[in-house]
Amino acid sequence: MKIGVFDSGVGGLTVLRALLARIPGAEYLYLGDTARLPYGSKSQATIARYAVSSSQFLIDQGCEFLVIACNTASALALNEINEAAAPYNIPVLGVIAPGAAAAAANSLTRDAMVIATSATVQSHAYAAACEARQLRAIEKACPLLVPLVEEGWIDHPVTAEVVRIYLSELREAAIEADSVPDTLVLGCTHYPLLRGVFENAVRKLWPDNPLVVIDSAEATAREVAAHINAVSRPEDAAIPPRSCACQFYATDSVTKFRELGTRFLGHPIDRVQLVDLGG
Amino acid sequence: MKIGVFDSGVGGLTVLRALLARIPGAEYLYLGDTARLPYGSKSQATIARYAVSSSQFLIDQGCEFLVIACNTASALALNEINEAAAPYNIPVLGVIAPGAAAAAANSLTRDAMVIATSATVQSHAYAAACEARQLRAIEKACPLLVPLVEEGWIDHPVTAEVVRIYLSELREAAIEADSVPDTLVLGCTHYPLLRGVFENAVRKLWPDNPLVVIDSAEATAREVAAHINAVSRPEDAAIPPRSCACQFYATDSVTKFRELGTRFLGHPIDRVQLVDLGG
């Protein structure tokens, strides 16, 4: 089984990492559209155009399953990607639905909070996916978190302060909306690297009832595994895990992809191939 | 005289603002390549490709002079832009040379510091331009400042702290290099919006000898004015200034360009035309 994983950059490697842990026997093709990132601050039309050309590239490489690891593309371009994949009968899974499902499974109060990029929040894709699961979601854009992660300021007082400010504003919004959230969804693939920072802030801001932090990467990998098992032959389960059968592609500097990507994937990336998708 | 001003986004509007103050009688076409921004974190090949197609668009609109208001494109793609403009005999001016010239004119110690995006710093274009003027420059990438400005955190304690951290690191580098800087060049068009923050930090970090902060937008406008006067008829000087004869173009959301751009230009932007440069 050849699984294509697409993201605007290296953030989706947190999803690939979860996939490798859960489905080690598959072959992976990962594309980071680094020449055109970030998607999170751009318009729907532009994001859809970029996401479709990126998905088409993975289809052309023979992928049999497409994972849209980019929250922004999942929120704003899933219909367009599905249309592009339909003629080839290739299933497409974004990260929003699995993330919302995991939040719905966790929440007792039926109130959740979602933090994401500006474009993802403006689409209200998480709110809609949560509402479909009888969960009310309050969303907030946190545009400084991706640059802070990419600067490597993970365990840094400035990042802790920015997270505190964003979550305080979110708490105010929840109080105003009479919401009692017990779940915080990380709606951007960069955010899992700040999981410790979020958990600290959550303990301080909600001391009586700390929110559970949900990472959609893990939820997405679970859903892909369920789908693969359903369509693949039972003996697939017996195939011994190969050591990371991954091919990496990027539309900009492969050196930068390797260096930054290693932090997200959690182990070294040897070879990245440069591809030109135009633009 | 039809002057084309190009930037990857809205930052170059600080250069247009300086141009309007100095050459109010000209007609301006401003292009923000917002669908493909930011340039500052991308590779030379990608930046050159984007900058040339953007410049070609302005040439096709009949511009007689090209101002590359983007520091990153000036640092990494000026040769390629010059090649594209040469067949039309269109002069091209980037922001690096004027900024370096202004720093060289100011410095008594012959030591300067330059802050900019990652790509601009990695190109060492400022260091080379300063060296050509017998000025030694120590450069530093400050990738968090553009996102902070775009988030609107101008007069904000987090921004003050990030600036303090970056400039402290720069001071350490200067001490190690036996450099005694008296000039700080803002090598990114977003930074003039933080001029007050830089001046505060500089007073605290160099209490005995505060650095002079140089903004290349003003230096660039001065140089364009000198060039225009040299090639235009003398009676041009008598033409009364028109009220902002500007046409704005963007490759992504015109609404976002209008909203964010107004802050950089210093007055409202009425109409922005969406253009598709491919990609």
Structural tokens at position B146: 């553009």
Active site residue B130: no
Q: In the 8-state DSSP scheme, what is residue A235?
A: G
- Which region holds residue B150: left if phi is over 0, alpha if psi is between -120 and 50, else beta? alpha
Is there a contact between B212 and B183 (Cβ–Cβ < 8 Å)?
yes
Residue A230 pLDDT grade (very low, low, confident, very high; cuts 50, 70, 90): low
Residue range B139-161, pLDDT digits in tens? 999 999 999 999 999 999 999 99
pLDDT score of A229: 77
Judge: B46–A256 Cβ closer than 8 Å, yes or no. Answer: no
pLDDT score of A244: 67
B56 in contact with A at a CB cutoff of 8 Å?
A: no
Judge: A253–B279 Cβ closer than 8 Å, yes or no. Answer: no
Is there a contact between A43 and A85 (Cβ–Cβ < 8 Å)?
no
What number is the average pLDDT over the span B217-245?
69
pLDDT score of B37: 92
Closest by CA to A22, choosing from A185, A228, A192, A212, is: A228
Judge: A36–B34 Cβ closer than 8 Å, yes or no. Answer: no
Residue A243 pLDDT grade (very low, low, confident, very high; cuts 50, 70, 90): low
Closest chain A residue to B158 measured between Cα atoms? A158
Closest chain A residue to B253 measured between Cα atoms? A43
Q: CA–CA distance from A278 to each of A87, A251, A274 (Å)? A: 23, 9, 12
Residue of A63, A70, A142, A246 with catalytic role: A70
Active site residue A188: yes
**Bridge partners of A93?**
A67
pLDDT score of A245: 87
B188 in contact with A at a CB cutoff of 8 Å?
A: no
Tell me whether residue B208 is exposed, middle or buried, using C-beta atoms within 10 angstroms of its C-beta: 0 to 12, 13 to 18, 19 or more: exposed
What number is the average pLDDT over the span A18-43?
93
Q: CA–CA distance from B35 to each of A14, A166, A193, B69, B126 (Å)? A: 25, 26, 27, 17, 27
A232 in contact with B at a CB cutoff of 8 Å?
A: no
Residue range B18-59, pLDDT digits in tens? 999 999 989 999 999 999 999 988 999 999 999 999 999 999
pLDDT score of B245: 87
pLDDT score of B234: 44
Is there a contact between B21 and B215 (Cβ–Cβ < 8 Å)?
no
Residue range B150-194, pLDDT digits in tens? 999 999 999 999 999 999 999 999 999 999 999 999 999 999 999
B52 in contact with A at a CB cutoff of 8 Å?
A: no
- Helix, coil or strand: residue B237: helix
Quote the mean pLDDT of chain B: 93
Q: Alpha-carbon distance B24 to B6, whole Å?
A: 18
Residue range B109-149, pLDDT digits in tens? 999 999 999 999 999 999 999 999 999 999 999 999 999 99
A34 in contact with B at a CB cutoff of 8 Å?
A: yes
Q: pTM of this prediction?
A: 0.91
Best of B43, B153, B156, B254 to substitute, by most chain A Cβ atoms within 10 angstroms, is B43
Is there a contact between A200 and A160 (Cβ–Cβ < 8 Å)?
yes
**Bridge partners of B214?**
B185
Is the pLDDT at A127 greater than 90? The verdict is yes
Q: Alpha-carbon distance A278 to A35, whole Å?
A: 10
User: 10 Å Cβ neighbour count for A278?
Assistant: 10
Is the pLDDT at B232 greater than 60? The verdict is no
Closest by CA to B159, choosing from A107, A70, A144, A89, is: A144
Amino acid present at A21 = A
> What does CATH list as the number for A2-94+218-274?
3.40.50.1860
For B:58-97, CB contacts with A below 8 A are none
Judge: B144–A162 Cβ closer than 8 Å, yes or no. Answer: no
- Residues from chain A that touch B251, judged by Cβ atoms under 8 A, are 46
Is the pLDDT at B240 greater than 80? The verdict is no
Is the pLDDT at B243 greater than 90? The verdict is no
Residue B236 pLDDT grade (very low, low, confident, very high; cuts 50, 70, 90): very low
The DSSP-derived string for A30-62 is: EEE-TTT---TTS-HHHHHHHHHHHHHHHHHTT
What percent of chain A has pLDDT above 70?
94
Structural tokens at position A140: 């907030």
Is the pLDDT at A242 greater than 80? The verdict is no
Residue A232 pLDDT grade (very low, low, confident, very high; cuts 50, 70, 90): very low
pLDDT score of A209: 84
Q: Alpha-carbon distance B25 to B242, whole Å?
A: 6
A2-94+218-274 and A96-216 share one fold:
yes
Query: Is the peptide bond prior to B38 cis by the omega test (within 30 degrees of 0)?
Result: yes
* Three-class secondary structure assignment of B71-138: HHHHHHHHHHHHHHHHHHCCCEEECHHHHHHHHHHHCCCCEEEEEECHHHHHHCHHHHHHHCCCCEEE
B177 in contact with A at a CB cutoff of 8 Å?
A: no
What number is the average pLDDT over the span A76-101?
98
Residue of B70, B130, B142, B246 with catalytic role: B70
The DSSP-derived string for B158-225 is: HHHHHHHHHHHHHHHHHHHTT----EEEEESTTGGGGHHHHHHHHHHHSTTSPPEEEEHHHHHHHHHH
β-strands A92-94, A27-32 pairing: unpaired
Residue of B63, B130, B142, B188 with catalytic role: B188
Tell me whether residue A232 is exposed, middle or buried, using C-beta atoms within 10 angstroms of its C-beta: 0 to 12, 13 to 18, 19 or more: middle
Q: In CATH terms, is domain A96-216 a member of 3.40.50.1860? A: yes
Ranges of each domain in chain A: 2-94+218-274, 96-216
- Helix, coil or strand: residue B7: strand
Say which residue the tokens 């009676």 belong to: B235
Structural tokens at position A70: 């980019």
Closest by CA to A279, choosing from B184, B39, B157, B253, is: B39
Is the pLDDT at B276 greater than 90? The verdict is yes
Best of A43, A146, A255, A260 to substitute, by most chain B Cβ atoms within 10 angstroms, is A43
Distance from CA of A253 to the nearest CA of B (A): 6
Nearest CB to A151; choose among B42, B144, B278: B144
